[in-house]
Structure 1
Amino acid sequence: MRPRLFFAAALALALAAGGRDAFNDWIAATDLPPLTIAVGTEVLARDGSLLRAFPVADGRWRLAPGPVDCAYLQELVAYEDGRFWQHAGVDPWAVLRAGAQVLWHQKVVSGASTLTMQVARLLEDGPTGTLAGKARQARVALALERRLSKEQILDLYLRLAPYGGNLEGLRAASLSWFGKEPRRLTPAQAALLIALPQSPESRRPDRHPKAAKAARDRVLDRLAAAGVLAKDSAAAAKAEPIPTARRDFPALAPHLTARLFAGAPQGARIETTIDPQLQRAAEKLARRAVRGQVGQVSVAMLLADHQNGEILAEVGGAEWTDSARAGFVDLTQAPRSPGSTLKPFIYALAFDDGLAHPETLIEDRPVAFGPWRPQNFDREFRGTVTVRQALTLSLNIPVVSLTEALGPERLLATLRRAGATPTLPTSAPPGLAISLGGLGISLEDLVQAYAALARLGQPVQLSAEAGGAHPLDGQLFGAVAAWQVSEILSRIAPPPGGTPNRIAYKTGTSYGHRDALALGFDGRHVAGVWMGRADGTPVPGAFGGELAAPILFEMFDRVGPERAPLPPPPPATLLLPNARLPQPLQRFRPRDAAFAEVVAGAPEVTFPPDGAEVETAGQGLVVKLRGGQPPFTWLVNGAPLIVGSRTRETVLNLTNPGYVSLTVLDAQGRAAHRQVILRR
Structure 2
Amino acid sequence: MAGLVVASLTYFSFAGLSGAMHDITAKLPPVPNPAQVATSTVILDRAGDLLRPYTIADGRWRLPVTLADVDPTFIAMLKGYEDRRFAEHHGVDWRALGRAAGQIARNGHIVSGGSTLTMQVARLLEGAPTRGFPEKLQQIVFAREIEDRLGKDDILALYLALAPYGGNLEGVRAASLAYFGKEPRRLTVAESALLVALPQAPEARRPDRDPKAAKAARDRVLDRLVAAGMLDTETAASAKTERIPKARKIFPMLAAHLGDAGRKGHPNTSVIRLTLDGRLQKKLEELASDRARAVGPKASVAIVVADHLTGEILASVGSADFMDSGRNGFVDMTNAIRSPGSTLKPLIYGLAFEQGIAHPQSLIEDRPTAFGGYAPVNFDGFYRGTVTIHDALTESLNVPAVQVLDAVGPARLVARLKRAAANPKLPDLSAPGLAIGLGGVGITLNDLVSVYAALARGGRPVALHDGTRATPVASDTAPMLEPLAAWYVADILADVPPPTIGARGRIAYKTGTSYGYRDAWSIGFDGRYVIGVWAGRADGAPVAGLSGIGTAAPVLFEAFDRLGGSRAPLRAAPAGALIASNGELPAPLKHFRRPGMLAGKAPDNPEIAFPPNGVQVDLGIRAGDPAPLMIKIRNGKPPFTWFANGTPIAQTPFARSESWEPDGPGFVTLSVVDSAGRSDRVTVFVE
TM class by shorter chain equals 0.7 to 0.9
CA distance in 1, matches of 2:534, 2:209: 44
Q: What is aligned with 2:174?
A: 172
In the other structure, the counterpart of 2:46 is 46
2: CA distance between counterparts of 1:451 and 1:202?
A: 56
For 2:469 and 2:548, the matched residues in 1 are separated by 33
Name segments (4+ residues, structure 1) moved above 4 Å: 16-30, 466-472
User: Which structure 1 segments of 5+ residues have no match?
Assistant: 1-15, 594-680
Q: CA deviation at 1:438?
A: 0.5
Which amino acid in 2 is paired with 1:318? Answer: A
**Aligned residue number for residue 549 of structure 2:** 545
Change (3 A) 1:289 1:156: same
Please state how far the C-alpha of 1:466 moved relative to its aligned partner.
8.5
Whole-Å separation in 2 of the counterparts to 1:41 and 1:254: 13
Question: Would you say the 8 A contact 1:39–1:266 is kept in 2?
Answer: no
CA distance in structure 2 between the partners assigned to 1:107 and 1:567 by the alignment? 79
Q: Secondary structure at the match of 2:460?
A: coil
> Does the CA contact (< 8 Å) of 1:27 and 1:143 recur in 2?
no
**Which amino acid letter does the alignment assign opposite residue 586 of structure 2?**
P
CA contact (8 A) 2:164 2:170 kept: yes
Task: Look up the SS of the partner of 1:300 in the other structure.
Answer: strand
* Aligned residue among 378, 395, 398 for 1:396: 398
CA deviation digits over 1:395-421, x for unaligned, max 9? 111111111111111111111110111
| C-alpha contact 1:295 1:539 (8 A) present in aligned 2 | no
Superposed CA deviations along residues 267-324 of structure 1, whole A, max 9, x for unmatched, are: 5211122112211221121122122323511111111111111111111111111111
2:566 and 2:143 map into 1 onto residues whose CA distance is 60
| Residue 86 to residue 29, structure 1, CA distance change in 2 (3 Å) | farther
In the TM superposition, residue 34 of structure 1 has moved relative to its aligned partner by: 5.8
> d(CA) in 1 for partners of 2:546 and 2:448?
19
Alpha-carbon distance, 1:589 to partner: 1.9
Equivalent position of 2:352 in the other structure: 350
Equivalents in 2 of 1:543, 1:266: separation in Å?
A: 43
Quick check: 1:359–1:387 contact (8 Å CA) kept in 2?
A: yes
The change in CA–CA distance for 1:200 and 1:34 in structure 2 (over 3 A counts) is: same
2:193: which partner in 1? 191
Which range moved further: 504-513 or 48-57? 48-57
State the match for 1:64 in structure 2: 64
What is the distance in 1 between the residues matched to 2:48 and 2:504? Answer: 36
Which residue number corresponds to residue 534 of structure 2? 530
Matching residue of 1:258 = 260
Q: 1:483 aligns with which of 484, 487, 496?
A: 487
CA contact (8 A) 2:104 2:111 kept: yes
Which amino acid in 2 is paired with 1:428? Answer: S
Q: In the TM superposition, what whole-angstrom CA distance separates every residue of 1:119-147 from its partner, at most 9, and x where no partner exists?
A: 11111111222112111111111111111
Alpha carbons of 1:542 and 1:17: their partners in 2 closer, same or farther (altered >3 Å)? closer
- Corresponding letter in the other structure for 2:29: L
Partner of 2:281: 279
Aligned to 1:337: 339
Asked if 1 retains the 8 angstrom alpha-carbon contact of 2:532 and 2:556, the reply is: yes
What is the letter of the counterpart of residue 504 of structure 1? A
Contact 1:514 1:537 in 2 (8 A): yes
Q: Number of aligned pairs?
A: 578
Q: What's the counterpart of residue 90 of structure 2?
A: 88
Q: What's the CA shift for 1:18? A: 11
Aligned counterpart, 1:11: none
Which residue, out of 405, 415, 418, partners 2:417? 415
What's the counterpart of residue 433 of structure 2?
Answer: 431
Q: Per the alignment, do residues 241 and 371 of structure 1 end up closer, same or farther by CA in structure 2, a change over 3 Å counting?
A: same
| Cα distance between partner residues in 1 of 2:17 and 2:134 | 22
Contact 1:30 1:139 in 2 (8 A): no
Aligned partner of 2:563: which letter? Answer: V
SS of match in other structure, 1:573: coil
Asked whether the 8 Å contact 1:402–1:590 carries over to 2, the reply is: yes
Q: What corresponds to 1:372 in structure 2?
A: 374
Residue 559 of structure 1 corresponds to which residue in structure 2?
A: 563
Counterparts in 2 of 1:102 and 1:333: CA distance versus 1, 3 Å: same
Provide, for residues 562-609 of structure 1, a one-character-per-residue CA deviation record: whole Å limited to 9, x for no partner.
33111111011111222222222111223569xxxxxxxxxxxxxxxx
Give the C-alpha shift of residue 54 in structure 1. Answer: 1.0
Counterpart residue type for residue 32 of structure 1 = P
Q: TM-score when scaled to structure 2?
A: 0.81
Out of 464, 467, 473, the residue aligned to residue 465 of structure 1 is: 467
Amino acid at match of 2:237: A
Matched with 2:312 is: 310
Give me the CA root mean square deviation.
2.1
Matched, 1:105 2:85: no
CA contact (8 A) 1:39 1:267 kept: no
- SS, match of residue 524 in structure 2: strand
| Mapping for residues 198-277 of structure 1, pairs under 5 Å | 198-266=200-268, 268-277=270-279
**CA distance in 2 between partners of 1:139 and 1:213 (Å):** 35
Equivalents in 2 of 1:293, 1:376: separation in Å? 24
How far the C-alpha of 1:20 sits from its partner, in A, is 9.5
Structure 1 CA distance for aligned equivalents of residues 135 and 580 of structure 2: 91
- Which residue type is aligned with residue 524 of structure 1? R
Structure 2 partner of 1:651? none
Larger displacement relative to structure 2 (316-325 or 20-29) = 20-29
- Could you say which residue in structure 2 is the equivalent of 1:521? 525
**Aligned match of 2:298:** 296
Q: Is the CA contact (8 Å cut-off) linking 2:262 and 2:468 kept in structure 1?
A: no
- CA gap 1:49/1:511 in 2 versus in 1, 3 angstroms: same
Distance in 1, Cα, partners of 2:380 & 2:482: 33
Summarize the Cα distance change of 1:17–1:257 in structure 2 as closer, same or farther, 3 Å threshold.
Answer: closer
For 2:572 and 2:417, locate their aligned partners in 1 and report how far apart those are by CA, in whole Å. Answer: 25
Residues 1:508 and 2:512 aligned together: yes
Q: Deviations over 1:344-390 (max 9, x none)?
A: 00111110011111111111111111111111111222222111111
Cα pair 2:223 2:236 within 8 Å, conserved: yes
Q: Give the letter aligned to residue 31 of structure 1.
A: L
The CA deviation string for residues 103-130 of structure 1, in whole angstroms up to 9 with x for no partner, is 2223322222111111111111112221
- Taking the aligned partners of 2:572 and 2:122, their CA distance within structure 1 comes to 68
Query: In structure 1, how many angstroms separate the alpha carbons of the residues matched to 2:462 and 2:255?
Result: 22
CA separation in 2, counterparts of 1:323 and 1:265? 26
Residues in 2 aligned to 1:287 and 1:105: alpha-carbon distance in whole angstroms = 60
- Residue type of the alignment partner of 1:531: A
Task: Indicate how the Cα distance of structure 1 residues 458 and 221 shifts in structure 2: closer, same or farther if over 3 A, else same.
Answer: same
Distance 1:332 1:230 in 2: 55
Q: SS at 1:574's partner residue?
A: coil
Pairwise CA distance, 1:258: 1.9
Distance across 1 between alignment mates of 2:343 and 2:486: 15
For 2:620, the equivalent position in structure 1 comes to: none
Q: Which runs of 5+ in 2 are unaligned?
A: 1-12, 598-687
Identity over the aligned pairs, expressed in percent?
A: 55
Match of 1:583 among 580, 587, 592: 587
**Closer, same or farther: CA 20–121 of 1 in aligned 2, 3 Å:** closer
